[in-house]
Amino acid sequence: MATAAAHQTYGAEKAGADTTAYERAFDAAVAADERIEPRDWMPDAYRATLVRQMAQHAHSEIIGMQPEANWITRAPSLRRKAILMAKVQDEAGHGLYLYSAAETLGTSREELLDKLHAGRQKYSSIFNYPTLTWADVGAIGWLVDGAAITNQVPLCRCSYGPYARAMIRICKEESFHQRQGYELLLALSRGTAEQHAMAQDAVDRWWWPSLMMFGPPDDESAHSAQSMTWKIKRHSNDELRQRFVDICVPQAESLGLTLPDPDLKWNEERQHYDFGPIDWTEFKEVLKGNGPCNEQRLTQRRRAHEEGAWVREAAAAYAAKHNDITGAMQA
């Protein structure tokens, strides 16, 4: 077992120990499928990759509240309204878990939020699409949460312990949301002709952006190889995308809805569904900030943060005063 050497504390390195010995121990721990913990030594690039990925993941939860919160005040029944409110609340909770997990790597929530607001860290491209009808809430649950789960379930075995543990909790709630989204679409699909059309329109608009959530094709994915060696990532983008398509096709059939891809068909030889080409130009434009809602999402996030500044300052001032009182009483 590599444990003893790998789990030396991070600080020990500063005492002049041999870095390459730590590297060997780290590599051995990863190879043995052991979890790396916050106080363990880790390569700087591993730390930086994790901070980038976890921050982006946390930001996606926070920005991802917006397209759905857009429908809370217009939800068509009290039951659906309660489900949607609970879901948006869960997303805020997921953001909190993920910022806490990222903080174990030596960054802070404030720092990460500042980077998000400055446009220096990204969030999932999918949340730059608008929710135009109630059915979009269902399409997000079924497709967007479905794609997120396909991506995230392997992260429950990620080599970094705090991230893996956060993902176990998050995936449980996400699969619940995904079923609720599916059930919402099913109700619409089986409802009136107008409701059915609303559901189909939403699936037509969300299908391709959902496939883009798996990232660029394998031959263009910059971080993939290293992340797979480090066991941050367990499957390639294209593998996960294929898995998602294979899951969705029969689900769409049972929903009574079609997927907007004329090339979609079962390939007996591959035992997978073939599907049409993705518009990577659109994907790149959205990533560059030119999607339908990039400006709106970031502006709302910045505004909430700026308008809330006085509240955070008040809480800090109150805490300082009352700690002083406690301090004075103890003195």
Partner 1 sequence: MTAPRTTPVPTTAALALGDDALVLSHRLGEWAGHAPVLEEEVALANIALDLLGQARVLLSMVGDEDELAYLREERSFRNLQLVEQPNGDFAHTIARQLYFSTYQHLLYTELAAGDGLFAGLATKAVKEVAYHRDHAEQWTLRIGDGTESSRERMLRATAALWRFTGEMFQPVEGLDVDPSALEAAWLDAVGGVLRRATLTVPEGPRSGAWTAGAGRQGVHTEPFGRMLAEMQYLHRSHPGASW
Contact footprint for partner 1 (CB under 8 A): 62, 65-66, 69, 72-82, 85-86, 88-89, 92-93, 95-96, 99, 134, 184, 187-188, 191-192, 194-195, 300, 303-305, 307-318, 321
Q: 61: which DSSP letter?
A: H
Q: Which of 85, 90, 107, 96 is nearest to 59 (CA)?
A: 96
From the CB of residue 263, how many other CB atoms can be counted at a distance below 10 Å? 9
In the chain the first and final C-alpha atoms are separated, in Å, by 51
Q: 10: which DSSP letter?
A: G
CB of 106 vs partner 1, minimal distance in Å:
20
Q: Closer CB to partner 1, residue 279 or residue 313?
A: 313
CB of 308 vs partner 1, minimal distance in Å:
2
Dihedral pair phi/psi, residue 40, rounded to 5°: -75, 155
- Sheet strands (E) in the chain: 265-267, 272-274
Q: Closer CB to partner 1, residue 69 or residue 156?
A: 69
Q: Closer CB to partner 1, residue 36 or residue 185?
A: 185
Residue type, 182: Y
Q: Closer CB to partner 1, residue 4 or residue 325?
A: 325
Q: Closer CB to partner 1, residue 69 or residue 247?
A: 69
CB of 168 vs partner 1, minimal distance in Å:
20
Cβ atoms 166, 35 nearer than 8 A: no
CB of 48 vs partner 1, minimal distance in Å:
24
CB of 191 vs partner 1, minimal distance in Å:
6
Write down the number of H helices and E strands in the chain.
15, 2
